[in-house]
Structure 1
Amino acid sequence: MGICLSARIKAESPFHTGLNSRSVSTDGGDSNSSSRVPPTTRSEGEILQSPNLKSFSFSDLKTATRNFRPDSVLGEGGFGSVFKGWIDENTFAATKPGTGVIIAVKRLNQEGFQGHREWLAEVNYLGQFSHPHLVKLIGYCLEDEHRLLVYEFMPRGSLENHLFRRGSYFQPLSWKLRLKVALGAAKGLAFLHSAETKVIYRDFKTSNILLDSNYTAKLSDFGLAKDGPTGDKSHVSTRVMGTYGYAAPEYMATGHLTSKSDVYSFGVVLLEMLSGRRAIDKNRPSGEHNLVEWAKPYLGNKRKVFRVLDTRLEGQYSMDVASKVANLALRCLSKDPRFRPSMSDIVKELEQLYQQSKDSGNTRSHASNRPRPRRRSAGDVASRNPSVAYPRPSASPLYAK
């Protein structure tokens, strides 16, 4: 079920940075990770009997989404389409639109490249873990050829939309909100990498970071997640899978997967948040198509780092804090994985920088009764309009080798 690399390159368009389809690795069965016991391989039956998950009938979800109506579509990706639906909070029965609890229903596209194995991996991981920075999986549907997943509804959609989409709805995220989102996403990865869990996410990118109404970041889409190495093993060997522009260079070269592979991907996302630029953008001038290659020479230089920073953030940050965030991104992007920090260390640094930004913001606000005017940001909009519609996310470009 793989896609060759040449096909990926051929399929690229100015609007996407890779294929809109996925490929599922066939390197052995998916295994289980638990926060309480060491990872052990589980059968499909054991995975689907998780006490944390509700088994929905296809009829239930058809009713909840109004027969998967096109105007209920929240987004589309390699897996298939995601639909908005409503269920009763207590019974989980389908309810009328506007009543009960809003859910997001992901329906497997049977003509796509992403299949049952990846669907099962999503149930396996999210069915076990409960964490403030992982999206909640409510249940699933496995009926005949139908494969669906039911999640909590994330009102503000993906980080990708807020960073890169333009329009009246998508105000640029403020500096403090960007740090808040980065910290939340880092906490989610740190949890997965912890000694008890030992899971490698493998597909960390802006479209997989969802935001709730308070801009709390939650990781979604665990179809490519893998159990980390155990015993004296230093890595997990897999087929190279992920998203173009985010995958660590040593993983692409060898197929050796470690938690430091996720750290590299985090560095790419942190750089996207700093710059407001996509990891890969063929519409940029020559020499600026690859964000990491273009930005790296500036990240460690306090006098040049401003060249990387998103101009929409002007006046919202201190150069001291911005330089430290840029330096953190640079360390995450080290070609040698041994020099990358751990996610737990990244969380500690970002907590300090986020607090410094809040403190410096308070200092600036008291220093003058007439603060420097700036463009409106999502931080401003959120304070006036906390309830908004779910933005439509873009497709999830993936590649396989």
Structure 2
Amino acid sequence: MHYLKAARIFDGDAFHYHSALAINGDHIVGVVATEDIPADAAVISCPGTLAPGFIDVQVNGGGGVLFNNAPNATTVTQMAVGHRSAGTTAIMPTIISDTAAVHRAAAQAVAEARAAGCASILGIHIEGPFFDMAKRGTHNPDMIRALDDEDIAWLSSLTAIKAMLTLAPEHATADQIRVLSDAGILVCAGHTDAVYEQVNDALEAGLRGFTHLYNAMSPLTSRSPGTVGAALDSAHSWVGIIADGHHVHPASIRIAQRCLPRGKLMLVSDSMSTVGSDETSFTLYGEKIEVHEGKLVNAEGALAGSAIGLNDAVRYSRDSVGIAEEECLRMASRYPAEFLDLGDQLGSLHSGYRADIVHFDAELKVYDTWVAGNHLSHIHGPNS
């Protein structure tokens, strides 16, 4: 047993001040008052705040590597390490629209990384290629295609790993969505031009959520609520949002946060390889993508993923959007854990939860992270 002593500890529900977090191996024991720490205990001082480690369900790359460019276990492990500098202790590596062979290699990579003991890898997010061509965004048009029986059979076979699939519901039947959902696939709507009624039909068939709300989806208008309207009107689905100051206006984030039931809006990074690295550019589909004024753009200046980690999203949601800090922290940890059906294991610092922890300062600069109790000190932190 050892203790992490901090000025503030956010346990997933509330802040505790001048307390300590007790850890036994890879699990949390609980928050205790500093005066209750045994005199002979091992204690680590953590100036700043301790909180549940962040969980990112949309991670295209990080640590200088991009999943589509090298779909193997080494890549996803390097991505996970790169994102720890952003306070993210668990990820869903995301493979975007590509060939069936690349997608199968990506799923195998995730399975191998998990089998090798990489606790930060929770599963795979397959984003595409079953999209609406007009809403494909930066996805290669040559890769966009219809969902067929072979795809459904393969996706349904991914029972050994947690799998999330983003598709355009207007290009899938209700029966297809139902089969995938019944197989345990977390089906989400994205890159879609679906009308409100089509999305509602998909929700009834098992659609679980929405990928990067507002971006690459039919908007809310007076007579046609679209995909955005269906998302905001849904009482049970989860909604991911990119809070980077470029993808979504802060007022739009506030509106979503006010409309949706508490616990249903979660932060995602949609990050590329630059997070957790010194890279300022990379190649995707043979095209150069560069960081320009804090955002990732292609040669035409169009957005191509994001350059943020989840600590940036928490900071932006708190400081620019105006959401309470504790809710921002839940949007980056507890709510994605619940979306993934892992809310009894991750996303909180309560007794019995896995010891996934982030230590940061008032500006959300990450000092340290722990994954299943394993510590990593980050270069700019006071404990490095």
TM-score under structure 2 length normalisation: 0.25
TM-score under structure 1 length normalisation: 0.25
Q: Which of the pair is proportionally richer in helix?
A: 1
